[in-house]
Amino acid sequence: MSLKMQWLITNLNTGQDNRPPGAIDTTNWMLSHQRGLIIAPTGYGKSGIIFYYIVERLRKAKTEGKKLVFTLSTPLLVLNDQFYTDLIEVLTNLDEDLINKDNCVFIDNSSDKSQQTGVVDARTRISKWGMNELRAELNKDKPVLPEFIFIISTHKSYNTLLSSKDNFVLGQLRTVDYETVCIFDESHTLVNGSMGNQDEEKHDNRDEKNDPIYMDELDKYADCIFLVSATPPKWQAEWLKEHL
C-alpha cells in the first residue's frame, strides 16, 4: 500500500534526513527552544517540520520517562482532518514502537461539543476519545491516563482547553505531570483574545475570519508554544518575545 507520508516515514526509520537544510535546521531549533514563530512558505514542508519535531519529542520523553500532551490546531476542519490523518500515518508506520494502544490516546476537540470516539487506526487500535471522556477522567480523584495525549483542535474550538467553564483542561493536565506542547498551524488567522478588541491586528484575507485565542491563559499552562505560518502577523512575534 502506498503511503502519502512514506518519504517522511523512511527518513525517520533510517535516520537519514534528506529534507531541505532549512527544514532540518528549523526542526532542530524547535527541539532546543520552548516557544517560537515558525515561518515557512507554502509548499516548503511545514508538516514535515512539525511531525519530525513531534517524533523526536516522543523519543526523548520515552527515554526520560516523561509524559507529554500535544495540542495541535488548524483553522479549518478540512485542514484539521488532513493534518490529523497525515500525523496518524507517520506515527503508526514507524519501525519502533513509539506509540501504541497502551501508551497513547487521541482526543477530538474539533468542535465545542465533540463526541467522536472509537479508534484512530484499525491496526494499532489506538483509542480516540471525545472531550467529555477527557474531562470525566481529569475530574476523578486519581485520573488514569496514558503517557502521551494528542488533542486535535480547530482554532475556534481551542479555547475550550483554556476556559474556566471546563476547569482549565490544560492546567489540569499539568497538575498530573504532563508537559504541554502547543502547536498552531496556519497561525496567521489567530488574534490575541486576551486583548479583546484592543490593538487587534486583523488578517488581510477577508475570506478568513480571525480566531481569538486566550493567550494569557495559554501562557500559564503551555510549556512549549509554536506558531506556524507563511504570513504571520506582527503581534505574534512581539508576543513571543515578551513570553519566552
Q: What is the pLDDT of residues 20-79, one digit of tens each?
A: 999 999 999 999 999 999 998 888 889 999 999 999 999 999 999 999 999 999 998 878
Q: What is the pLDDT of residues 113-124, one digit of tens each?
A: 555 678 888 889
Residue with cell 484592543: 198
Cell (9 digits) for 47:
508538516
Can you name the residues that pair with 119 across neighbouring β-strands?
Answer: 127
Question: What pLDDT score does 204 carry?
Answer: 42
Question: What pLDDT score does 198 carry?
Answer: 42
Question: What pLDDT score does 121 carry?
Answer: 83
Q: Report whether 26 contacts 216 (CB < 8 A).
A: no
Question: What pLDDT score does 54 carry?
Answer: 98
Second CATH level (architecture) for the domain 21-242: 3-Layer(aba) Sandwich (3.40)
Question: What pLDDT score does 42 carry?
Answer: 80
- Average pLDDT, rounded, for the chain: 89
Phi-psi group of 43: left, alpha or beta (phi > 0 → left; psi -120 to 50 → alpha; rest → beta): left
Question: What pLDDT score does 120 carry?
Answer: 86
Cell (9 digits) for 182:
502547543
Low-confidence ranges of the chain (pLDDT < 50): 197-208
Residue with cell 504541554: 180
